[in-house]
Amino acid sequence: MQIELKKSGHKFQNRLRTSRIYKTDDIGSFKDRLLSWAQQFEDVLWLDSNNYPRDYSSFDCLLAVDAFTSIKTDFYNGFEDLKEYQTTTGDWIFGYLTYDLKNDIEDLHSSNTDELDFPDLYFFQPKKIIRIQGDEICFDYLNMVDDELEPDFMEISATDTSPDETGEEAQPVKIKLRIHKDEYHSKLEKMLKHIHRGDIYEANFCQEFYAENTRIDPLKIYGKLNRISEPPFATFLKMGSRFLISASPERYLRKEGRKVISQPIKGTAKRSENREEDESLRQKLKQDPKERAENIMIVDLVRNDLSRLAKKGSVKVEELCEVYTFKQVHQMISTVIAEADDEAGAVDLIKATFPMGSMTGAPKIAAMKIIEELETTKRGLYSGAVGYFSPEGDFDFNVIIRSILYDDIKQYASFSVGSAITAKSVPEKEYEECLIKAKAMREVLEAN
């Protein structure tokens, strides 16, 4: 079935790009066709808000494909390399920052197991950007390929999204745990000793679930994960044979002009199909002293990070310990805002706050050292960030959680989950929280 689209607006010109705007009455079908069409390219980044009602949003969804230029590097001097690339390009760039860029900021290292080996930093300048806001679709192409704009529009409109019945039959995915329950408890007891001794107040401890010798259809898995989660920061990233399939509910950092926004999540509760019980679970999370304490600790850490490059007195907590409801879980979220100092560049702001407090702990450096000692898997892309910079130097990045990482050549799939450990943590309950967070990823992989 083809979609009837109406051409609207006119052709705009700037230094680098040509834009045209279209409208449709069936945006859901167009989104499916658009993402299917994008799979022909080696470099793909798809960001989808799933129409989640939230502040600080620039679009409903955004697609960037077909790299014109790119940067791919390890952590050494990573932020300076990114800064040079971002300022020199002067255009939209899309990509990710792995957790291990911490090693570029502090005297830290990462030597744990890494079966996926994503580059530490990757960004690309796409030839083709397609944005959707409401019923409007904006095609934003580099001038060198603007003659492909109209043909691409027609091709997307005719793209067949029906399942491929001739493909190989999906094989069951056998998921393994990198840390088993008894070992998890033992490691948490060591973490608690550090806390009781006063080395740290809080740390985010993570564990990996993985599947070897497995083949999945990344786009199909993304579709399933997105449907059962509908998060505000859904992501599909393709980088050659490597994929990120993300149902992240968390924003790391956003810049609008000189305003900077961080929205850390700390505090998770399961959902119930019973309305009264579900509301009871939500209220229990909202009033839980341990969860609130975790959240407030991270808010303080974020405030401290932002203050490094913010105008004096501009760091404010706009929202503290509010509970938001998603399809899989309830989450406690706070919003911290600041006005960036006039001398602070876009990459400077990220470097000053990276890695995000919700995935590290307090004090941050001490927590990261202990995390590295007790975790068995190198985090890599997990608990990093994915997003974009605009030509004006604004940006928006999520936190890479509730995400599946996959390498099609190695046939290796992985997802990690974690929880915040404080003095009041009970290992059994922390383990249960991890299983709640793992539920959606495990479900879509095992149903492959």
Q: Do 201 and 443 touch, CB atoms closer than 8 A?
A: no
Which DSSP category does 270 fall into?
A: E
Reply yes or no on whether 23 is catalytic.
Answer: no
User: Within 10 Å of residue 416's Cβ, how many Cβ atoms?
Assistant: 27
The region, left, alpha or beta by phi > 0 then psi within -120 to 50, assigned to residue 156 is: alpha
Reply yes or no on whether 266 is catalytic.
Answer: yes
Q: Which residues contact 445 (CB under 8 A, 6 or more apart)?
A: 173, 175, 211, 216, 221, 404, 413, 415
3-class secondary-structure state, position 293: helix
User: Within 10 Å of residue 107's Cβ, how many Cβ atoms?
Assistant: 7
Nearest-CA neighbor of 140 among 85, 197, 209, 64? 64
Of 250, 375, 430, 433, the catalytic one is 250
Q: Do 415 and 441 touch, CB atoms closer than 8 A?
A: yes
Q: Residue 105 is which amino acid?
A: I
- CA distances for 290 relative to 91, 124, 325, 425, angstroms: 44, 41, 19, 8
**φ/ψ of residue 27, rounded to 5:** -70, -30
Of 31, 224, 255, 266, the catalytic one is 266
Q: Do 50 and 228 touch, CB atoms closer than 8 A?
A: no
Strand partners, 269: 330
Q: Residue 413 is which amino acid?
A: A
**φ/ψ of residue 86, rounded to 5:** -65, -45
Angstrom distance (rounded) from CA 391 to CA 87: 9
Residue that has been written with the tokens 């449709």 in this structure: 24
Longest dimension (CA), the chain: 66
Its sign, for the CA torsion 356, 358, 359, 361, is: positive
List, in sequence order, every beta strand (DSSP E) within 26-182.
Answer: 43-48, 61-73, 93-97, 121-133, 136-142, 176-177
Strand partners, 323: 332
Catalytic site residues? Answer: 250, 266
